[in-house]
Amino acid sequence: MTGGERVEVRTASGVVRGEWVRGVAVFRGIPYARPPVGPRRFAAPVPVLPWDGVRDASEFGPSVPQKGWAGADSGDCLTLNVWSPELGAVRLPVLVWIHGGAYLEGESSNPHHDGALLAAAGAVVVSMNYRTGVEGFAHITGAPDNRGLLDQAAALRWVQDSVAAFGGDPGRVTVSGQSAGAGSVAALLVMPSAAGLFQRAIAQSVPGTYFAPRLAAAISASIAAEVGAAATTDELSAITPRALIDATGAVIAKMPDAVESWGPVALTPTPFSPVVDGDVLPCAPWQALADGAAGGVDVLVGHTRDEFRLFNPHRGTVTDAELTATLHRLAPGIDYRTAYPDATNAELYETVNADWLFRMPSLHLAAAQHAGRGRAWLYELCWSFNRDEGASHSLDALLVFGTLGADEVREHPTAHPNAAAEVSGVGHAMRTDWLRFATTGDPGWPPYDPRARPTRVYAATPGTQCYPEETSRRLWSTHRFVPLDLLGE
């Protein structure tokens, strides 16, 4: 098929009609759960009701409530999309994508996460919307924690029930995500309700922020107070999603003032993270993996070199006082100044933020999986296409999906001379390795072990070497990533 032809597939809930686009069958906006409205607004997702007839699947579903959202209520937002190169009983590997967005925003219609190129290379690709912000991650009395994670698990159950009709193999499902999506993947690895729903996992830039219930409750109480309510289902159910979005924005603006109570999360751009509630998420991923919670799941995990460059407000000068405060908040007892004697204050500021938020949590996830007798593979993206951003957060996702074009690279004002010629090759290498992993469980280089620490390094010419960030690794070698809690109580 070349394009424009309509095609129908019967799912477990009913028939959907998509279309062939340049050799890939595309289905958009398929509901996997009932709309989270009314009594279901702050509840665990409920399976979608079956429908009669044929449901059109040519348009993406509406986004979940978030900044810039124009909806009147949550609506029919719990939907997913499927790209497949071949329909029927062909049993292709399945790659399920969970978008990032600080647990605050994001949508599966993002054109940078178009699954067509990955699908054309030989996989069924699925992406989903899930509840974010207050709707998905606030700690609300009377509601289950981690509703966004429960949505993701519901979508994975839909995959188990229906993906075979789209050419997928429900026994070869890889769940993947980047940033908050990677944090979600790490949580799903150890969630009892997600056990058995996937066989492999890819986590790109795992954030180290998971909340203890007390911290989550304090943050949610602050957001609810902005609208004159308590953080309970009874009171928040009467508040519109739009009002809670605005209230969240107001709290984000004031978060730095709460650092003495909320700790380092107050220095991040989001008030949300998965809550280690002892039920939906019984334990922080690192400890649970080390205890063997996902020993039978293969894990590919890594990060970019310059994880914090995009978020860094101090690209120029950082005072001694600013650096000292940051080191005290994020890495108490770790001597960055001695370890990096030639680094400027600004470079140290960026390095410690990158290490604390993404680089070391990702490295430690591989180590924890190995400790739990599971297999893990480690990577780092070092390639970049411009001087300003470096190998930035999210760049690996653009390369894997192949949605960063040579023209876009070439037109950047600080583009490297050869970057436009290199981008397709680096993307192809990553995409090939990701698909090899989804297909066979082995991306093509030795699995992680704590002695050699083999790491696939994606540069203009990819290669495998010992983990590149050795200085930071040593600094954080005895650290344990545990749930963040309130300070001074």
Does the annotation count 179 as an active-site position? yes
- Structure-token match 């107070």, residue found: 225
Q: What does the alpha-carbon distance between residue 114 and residue 70 come to, in Å, rounded to a whole number?
A: 23
Least Cα distance to 178 among 211, 137, 206, 148 occurs for 206
Going by C-alpha positions, the residue among 243, 247, 246, 217 that lies closest to residue 232 is 217
> How many Å separate Cα 311 from the centre of its chain?
17
How many angstroms separate the CA atoms of 114 and 121, rounded?
13
Give CB contacts under 8 A, 24+ apart, made by 419-422.
419/384, 419/385, 419/386, 420/385, 422/383, 422/385, 422/460
What DSSP string describes 299-316? EEEEEETBTTGGG-S-SS
Please check whether residue 147 is in contact with residue 171, taking contact to mean a CB–CB distance below 8 angstroms: no
At residue 425, the 3 state secondary structure works out as: helix
**Residue at token pair 């203009």:** 460
Q: Which helix (H) or strand (E) holds 169?
A: strand 168-178
Which of these, 172, 163, 180, lies nearest to 201 by C-alpha position? 172
d(CA 455, CA 101) in angstroms, rounded, equals 26
Three-class SS state of 318: coil
Kindly give, in sequence order, each residue whose CB lies less than 8 Å from that of residue 399, ignoring residues fewer than 6 positions away.
381, 383, 423, 426, 427, 430, 431, 458
Query: How is residue 246 annotated by DSSP?
Result: H
Q: Which of 96, 99, 153 is nearest to 125 (CA)?
A: 96
Catalytic residue selected from 179, 193, 205, 222: 179
Return the bridge partners of 299, or none: 201, 376
Alpha-carbon gap, residue 469 to 467, rounded angstroms: 6
Four-point Cα dihedral 235, 238, 244, 250, nearest 10: -60
- Is 393 a residue of the active site? yes
105, 107, 135, 307: the active-site residue: 307
Residue type present at position 96: V
- Which tokens is 96 given? 């399920």
Residue the block writes with tokens 């996992």 = 201
Active-site residue (options: 13, 105, 393, 422): 393
| CA-based nearest residue to 54, from 13, 107, 94 | 13
Q: Give the strand pairing for 54-56 and 454-458.
A: unpaired
CA dihedral over 289, 437, 184, 471, signed as positive or negative: positive
- Residue 191, SS3 per DSSP: coil
Residues annotated catalytic, as ranges: 179, 307, 393
